Structure 1
């Protein structure tokens, strides 16, 4: 018998011995007494690092086996999606979402209007209509060589109208699409990152920015949208963002994230979040971003290559980051020490749900009441609506789920650092044959072939894949 099999059988025996609930009221075993309220504690172990909708995010189609992940990122130029003022072609978006989804992953997407080294990304109908385009050598590409870029005149009336039309159509088509995990606002600035540095005179006005923010607010009610820069009322370059329902992405993560004593670092992410009074925004809206290219991979070394005060773990804790684009852990196979530190530190990102205790009552012959206490040990909540929590009975001998019940339980709103949330529901057992069963809980993926949400419990996957065992039930003839 291998170690995993032994552990699974031992845990199963413990659960069966506990007899949290039986139809005939079997007493729990000595040493496994439930608490006064009838709940039995469930043991913690770290949840898998590749839980859905969190963690490190490579560019689409990464090499296999480099680092666990459940999301992929890619850009699309606006010219691929918009061909006339009110004519859109979604083939490129569909191809991207279907390709990423074919690997059971969710997509993180950004649409852009300018990108160093790329041409013809502005819809041709705008250029033909007289849109002014500035062509110049972009020197803000470190650590890569400077490249030519085409920046549109963001004050152009037709461009502004086109952006509003596109965002409305984009939201109408894709808001709430389960394949789309997160959307970064994009559209304005280099790489869609809302700046034209060092050519700041070409940057969009606050009026144009506000138009884009308002359009996204109206078009996307379900899919989380993230902005690059938080801005307060008196920000010199940016329109105020606090009252818009968006998250934020720090694209210089572990490099220019945390506050420093130097005045010239006032553009760092946390400094801007503080000035905009947005430090609590993570409780409702996600924080994402990208690990800065200069520290790809080596940010997880010991010692880390991150600048002083910008350690990855500290940045995660202070920003409450849920996901980060990264190339460092995907461009080559990491040495074991780097890989292990990455697993430990990335595992702290986003949510981590632990089922702390469970109780299965046997009040009536043909039904039972199931209650679970769930806590969030991560740094952020779960932001996506529509993920269904279900209960099931598992035949412990065959390892098969023989019955399932939907619940009204929801993962959204369970904040880290707060006391456990108690879920309760009643299961109808009239159709269940006599026998001994494991009571279990599961949260299946919202996309075909996707990764189910796994809990930070020792009994996760012990009796059936994607199910966490929470107790036992004996149904007498």
Structure 2
């Protein structure tokens, strides 16, 4: 990676974020206090393990006559692919303060202890070399094209002739992800890098005049390259924009591995990505291919000298999450961060010399706040040097990362799990208050205090649009009614506490004792995610307390 030779600002302390209890000695250097009211803290324990409690237990669906909603088979937190038909939706309201610790007469206050389990929930966490080669569970597989064992995608294979597209590799990949209850993410290459050095430009485009340089990179300024790569991206967007099987797609087309690394033709004098050079114009055009836009690009003809212009208009991806790789060109990352806040950020150099938090803070232009509106992804560049884990953890936390593409280079699985566990959203209640009795046909009043103790938020553009959910289970463990409370959980930011009140309309149930359950439901699939609790009873439900329903 070639960083832009700009003077860095003085290092400043990162904004505080809630930190998970650390299991490894080096993590103390980056931890801040976890505050969740009266939340108990676990005593010392071993490295985090995947929490399987949410996918097991006695709770059963008791409404066989109701049809199930579409599901992702085997998705995290799901014991069965059922969706309970909610009762009438209550109107949520924010409580002025968190419930008191001591229960009032007629109330039960349940306190929760957050676990340190790694949760492979949708839209976050670990990404391995492939689905089958990786140290931890993953919800979102990532494909790219530099290594044949990864089965990645490249322009030459997908677009063998002008106007002819072979989407079968992408379709097969996404179908496999869906079959496993996962989402897919990918980058399509136009060039690779050592040791897989080759261009991935179709031969027919080269025959039209695209230029492949000695570095095996295309000349990105070239008219034929931009014109035909743009037509390919237009076709890609027409086919896959809004496909719910896709978590995100990288904006590609520039630099070795299409990581947007600089080369000897890159204009490094342009600080904001707004320059008038052919290279600056080229980079803006390549971004517009994905985000959509029109304009006139400056181009170079096939002789490498003569300049011209190329009018363009691209539809872009309007619904699918896009990620902008950063390979050292500050100007483009700054321009995208300011102009397209819905586009995420990716850096493929964690553990490298230019991937510390101070480097991204020095870039400025809101780059360290991209996580507020779009996901952040890191990839490990190689085996971590001794003592580098603390800086890596600080970078991941300070940038609000949701994913770590580990690429099978971190040998210490405990250290890897420690890095990955806080990534993305992580919802946990500290306490929930319920009545000891309720009247059938009346209301069930529930209050609670919840927090997002992860490093980022959830992103509905990736499909993670969550709501708080409650249910009642009878003495046999069958869920007899449920409610989607309507709270915008995906908007909960790291470190914020949310005191919620819900008046849940009770149907006319039989007199008896029922168990109040809670969960977080993904609206698009009706499935509930895993929570960092040890009270799971199956199908993504977590036990709160018993309530006696009277006539």
Structure 1 gap ranges (5+): 10-30, 137-149, 261-267
Q: CA deviation at 1:313?
A: 1.9
* SS of residue matched to 1:402: strand
* SS of residue matched to 1:440: strand
Contact in 1 for aligned 2:441/2:508 (Cα 8 Å):
no
2:399 equivalent to 1:322: no
Distance in 2, matches of 1:38 and 1:175, equals: 49
Contact in 1 for aligned 2:470/2:485 (Cα 8 Å):
no
Does the C-alpha gap of structure 1 residues 237 and 437 become closer, same or farther in structure 2, counting only changes over 3 Å?
closer
Q: CA deviation at 1:94?
A: 0.9
State the match for 1:73 in structure 2.
142
State the match for 2:237 in structure 1.
171
State the match for 2:113 in structure 1.
44
State the match for 1:258 in structure 2.
356
1:149-176 residue CA offsets vs partner (Å, 9 max, x unmatched): x322222223223333333333333233
Structure 2 gap ranges (5+): 1-51, 58-99, 145-152, 269-276, 293-315
**1:341 paired residue among 409, 415, 418:** 415
Q: CA deviation at 1:321?
A: 1.3
Distance in 2, matches of 1:239 and 1:377, equals: 28
Q: CA RMSD in A?
A: 3.7
2:228 equivalent to 1:162: yes
Distance in 2, matches of 1:476 and 1:347, equals: 43
Deviates more, 1:104-113 or 1:426-435: 426-435
* SS of residue matched to 1:46: coil
Distance in 1, matches of 2:542 and 2:180, equals: 24
Does the C-alpha gap of structure 1 residues 236 and 472 become closer, same or farther in structure 2, counting only changes over 3 Å?
closer
Does the C-alpha gap of structure 1 residues 280 and 366 become closer, same or farther in structure 2, counting only changes over 3 Å?
same
2:483 equivalent to 1:413: no
Contact in 2 for aligned 1:389/1:410 (Cα 8 Å):
yes
Q: CA deviation at 1:191?
A: 1.0
**1:61 paired residue among 110, 131, 135:** 131
Contact in 2 for aligned 1:34/1:40 (Cα 8 Å):
yes
Contact in 2 for aligned 1:252/1:291 (Cα 8 Å):
yes
**1:285 paired residue among 371, 374, 377:** 374
* SS of residue matched to 2:538: coil
Distance in 1, matches of 2:286 and 2:477, equals: 52
State the match for 1:306 in structure 2.
388
2:442 equivalent to 1:375: no
Contact in 1 for aligned 2:155/2:201 (Cα 8 Å):
yes
State the match for 1:132 in structure 2.
211
2:460 equivalent to 1:384: yes
Q: CA deviation at 1:132?
A: 1.7
1:119-166 residue CA offsets vs partner (Å, 9 max, x unmatched): 562133312322222244xxxxxxxxxxxxx32222222322333333
Does the C-alpha gap of structure 1 residues 44 and 86 become closer, same or farther in structure 2, counting only changes over 3 Å?
farther
Distance in 1, matches of 2:432 and 2:402, equals: 27
**2:172 paired residue among 72, 75, 95:** 95
2:340 equivalent to 1:244: yes
Does the C-alpha gap of structure 1 residues 230 and 284 become closer, same or farther in structure 2, counting only changes over 3 Å?
farther
Distance in 2, matches of 1:113 and 1:123, equals: 9
Does the C-alpha gap of structure 1 residues 71 and 166 become closer, same or farther in structure 2, counting only changes over 3 Å?
same
Q: CA deviation at 1:99?
A: 1.9
* SS of residue matched to 2:491: coil
Distance in 2, matches of 1:425 and 1:85, equals: 58
1:380-403 residue CA offsets vs partner (Å, 9 max, x unmatched): 111235534363434364333333
1:185-232 residue CA offsets vs partner (Å, 9 max, x unmatched): 122221110125477589981112112223322333333222122999
Contact in 2 for aligned 1:213/1:244 (Cα 8 Å):
no
Does the C-alpha gap of structure 1 residues 363 and 200 become closer, same or farther in structure 2, counting only changes over 3 Å?
same
Does the C-alpha gap of structure 1 residues 328 and 238 become closer, same or farther in structure 2, counting only changes over 3 Å?
closer
Does the C-alpha gap of structure 1 residues 164 and 439 become closer, same or farther in structure 2, counting only changes over 3 Å?
farther
Q: CA deviation at 1:376?
A: 0.9
1:412-457 residue CA offsets vs partner (Å, 9 max, x unmatched): 2211122x22444443332533322222223356798x98522233
* SS of residue matched to 1:222: coil
**1:34 paired residue among 103, 114, 117:** 103
Does the C-alpha gap of structure 1 residues 204 and 185 become closer, same or farther in structure 2, counting only changes over 3 Å?
farther
Distance in 1, matches of 2:428 and 2:236, equals: 36
Distance in 2, matches of 1:238 and 1:214, equals: 14
Q: CA deviation at 1:109?
A: 0.8
Does the C-alpha gap of structure 1 residues 343 and 230 become closer, same or farther in structure 2, counting only changes over 3 Å?
closer
Distance in 2, matches of 1:369 and 1:158, equals: 65
Does the C-alpha gap of structure 1 residues 67 and 259 become closer, same or farther in structure 2, counting only changes over 3 Å?
closer
Alignment of 1:203-218 (within 5 A): 205-218=279-292
Normalised to the residue count of structure 2, the TM-score between the two structures is 0.64
Distance in 2, matches of 1:367 and 1:127, equals: 70
